[in-house]
Amino acid sequence: MRVGVVTFPGSLDDRDAQRAIRLAGAEPVALWHGEHDLHGVDALVLPGGFSYGDYLRAGAIASLSPIMAEVIDAANKGMPVLGICNGFQMLTEAHLLGGGLIRNDHGSFVCRDQRLRVENTATDWTSGFEAGQEITIPLKNGEGGFIAAADTLERLEGEGRVVVRYVGVNPNGSLNDIAGITNARGNVVGLMPHPEHAVEPGFGPDTADAMRSGVDGLTFFTSVIQRVLATA
């Protein structure tokens, strides 16, 4: 089981994503934005960061990268694709996911351990969660406000395609407290919070049990491994 992580100019969390994949039990494969080669991976992660300095719009220039032609093609054929933060922004810019991300409504960058409710456990990346399970993973963004046209929002809600929703605090003004969504097929998931930063005891969010012991993010990566192995 090999999971590719695409590095773009300005990616920050590509190595964290690789580490999460390794800890989940798969082999991470470093991919480069300027190539047209997915190196035969079984799944893909578009990592967080500030590709191209967020110039033009967050994720917009990266979504036009050479490798995105292969990413879009693979996603449309059913390959699991996870976009985290800047990767989520790229997926909306590439029209693999609906809606868009705009600057936080309060105008400030936000960095916090964020409580979320997993609302869709049918996707390739969330099948290991219980429906309605509440998890805590880090969130850090300046442009994380999810918005969509009224009809798009209605369709996302009606089809159960909201994957994770903010609980307690809406940190960025996202409509309907939406933190992450999926496509109709459930193989493409994008979310603003960072599951790859909550995968190893000692380095995750605080929990009631112990400081920095939170590993709720790991399930995103173990879910996709189980899904790919089940369909292989």
Task: Enumerate the active-site residues.
Answer: 85, 194, 196
- State the nearest-atom distance from the C-beta of 85 to other proteins, in Å: 17
Tell me the two tokens of residue 201.
């005891």
Is 69 one of the binding residues for other proteins (CB under 8 A)? no
Which is it for strands 110-118 and 27-32: parallel, antiparallel or unpaired? unpaired
Is 111 one of the binding residues for other proteins (CB under 8 A)? no
Q: Which is nearer to other proteins, 93 or 216 (CB)?
A: 93
**Count of residues binding other proteins (CB under 8 A)?**
21
Phi then psi dihedrals of residue 29, to 5 deg:
-125, 120
Contact 52, 9 (CB under 8 A): yes
Could you give the CA distance from residue 38 to residue 42 in angstroms, rounded to a whole number?
9
Is 167 one of the binding residues for other proteins (CB under 8 A)? no
The DSSP secondary structure of 110-132, one letter per residue, reads EEEEEEEEE----STTTTTSPTT
Out of 103, 176, 207, 226, which residue is the one contacting other proteins (CB under 8 A)? 103
Out of 48, 80, 83, 99, which residue is the one contacting other proteins (CB under 8 A)? 99
Could you give the CA distance from residue 204 to residue 113 in angstroms, rounded to a whole number?
9
Report the 10 Å Cβ neighbour count for 33: 20
Out of 12, 72, 102, 110, which residue is the one contacting other proteins (CB under 8 A)? 102
Q: Which is nearer to other proteins, 95 or 202 (CB)?
A: 95
Where along the sequence are the contacts to other proteins (CB under 8 A)?
56-57, 60, 64, 92-93, 98-100, 102-107, 145, 147-149, 152, 173
